[in-house]
Amino acid sequence: MCNLYNATTNQEAIIAITRAMVGNVGNLEPSFDVYPDQLAPIVRNTPAGRELARVRWGLPSSSQALYEAATKRADKLRAKGKDVDFDELLKMEPDGGTTNVRNTKSRHWTRWLGVEHRCVVPVTRFAEPDPANKPEGGRTPNAWFARSPEQPLMFFAGIWVPQWTSVRKVKEGPITTDLFAFLTCEPNNVVAAIHQKAMPVLLTESDEVEQWLTEPWESARELQRPLPEDRLILLPR
């Protein structure tokens, strides 16, 4: 599961490939790491046109997942002899967001697979945990992947949801904000050498970006596939 990526790029490069018509991100930092629940630039389809915007990373989790989490919390409280208002507990259950979308046949995701909810996410390299190189007593390091040593711009194939109300963090309470995440698929051999479960769906060509942002799902779904191995490398540690 990819929960860290980097974008070393600028507005002009993003707009040149995606043909975004509207932009409201201000000046992008020359290089930045992106972690879950942070704001990050995406190019999304909107009624006003294709827009470059900053959106929070992590789509809504399923109602079933939130229900199960609230049930576990309620059980722990009851075990301590505390009274529980389950409806209120469920309402305030924190949802840190789902960062990666794999099962596009799930009813939870199918409502957001139309063109109006599609986006692309600028990326120049992405990370996967590398437990095989973890030092004794130390933290698990990351392995980084890119198109080439020069780390040119590419894009994750993403989905965005407007003005979703949820509790992202307990200290924030309920908020309403735009959210995004990106699709994953089976890993190619480059990624599978480090992470066997999945890799992000990557778009490296301008026609792939157009296909994702404009084509019906029957056509766009073809892009949920491992990137050809000659388009991706493991960066030197």
Q: What's 37's domain CATH number?
A: 3.90.1680.20
Say how many domains are in the chain: 2
User: For position 223, what pLDDT does the model report?
Assistant: 98
Selection from 106, 147, 167 nearest residue 5 by Cα: 147
Query: Does the residue 216 lie in any domain?
Result: yes
Query: Does the residue 100 lie in any domain?
Result: yes
User: For position 163, what pLDDT does the model report?
Assistant: 96
Quick one: 50 and 66 in the same domain? Answer: no
Q: Is the confidence at residue 65, as pLDDT, over 80?
A: no
Quick one: 111 and 169 in the same domain? Answer: yes
Query: Does the residue 164 lie in any domain?
Result: yes
User: For position 89, what pLDDT does the model report?
Assistant: 65
Q: In whole numbers, what is the pLDDT of the chain averaged over residues?
A: 90
Q: Taking the complete model, does pTM exceed 0.85, yes or no?
A: yes
- How far apart are the two ends of the chain, measured CA to CA in Å? 20
Residue 76 domain boundaries: 62-94
- Of 75, 94, 113, the domain-final residue: 94
Q: Is the confidence at residue 69, as pLDDT, over 90?
A: no
Query: Does the residue 86 lie in any domain?
Result: yes
Quick one: 54 and 116 in the same domain? Answer: yes
Query: Does the residue 119 lie in any domain?
Result: yes
Quick one: 160 and 118 in the same domain? Answer: yes
113 vs 84 pLDDT, higher one: 113
Quick one: 20 and 86 in the same domain? Answer: no
Quick one: 14 and 24 in the same domain? Answer: yes
Query: Does the residue 130 lie in any domain?
Result: no
Tell me the C-alpha distance between 202 and 173, whole Å: 34
Q: Is the confidence at residue 101, as pLDDT, over 80?
A: yes
Query: Does the residue 134 lie in any domain?
Result: no
Query: Does the residue 146 lie in any domain?
Result: no
Quick one: 55 and 70 in the same domain? Answer: no
Label residue 76 by pLDDT band (50, 70, 90).
confident
Q: Compute CA distances 176 → 115, 161, 226, whole Å.
A: 22, 11, 34
Quick one: 70 and 159 in the same domain? Answer: no
Quick one: 50 and 30 in the same domain? Answer: yes
Quick one: 87 and 177 in the same domain? Answer: no
Kindly state the average pLDDT of the residues 135-149: 91
Tell me the C-alpha distance between 167 and 91, whole Å: 8
Quick one: 86 and 33 in the same domain? Answer: no
Cβ neighbors of 8 (< 8 A, separation 6 or more) are 30, 31, 124, 125, 151
Quick one: 31 and 117 in the same domain? Answer: yes
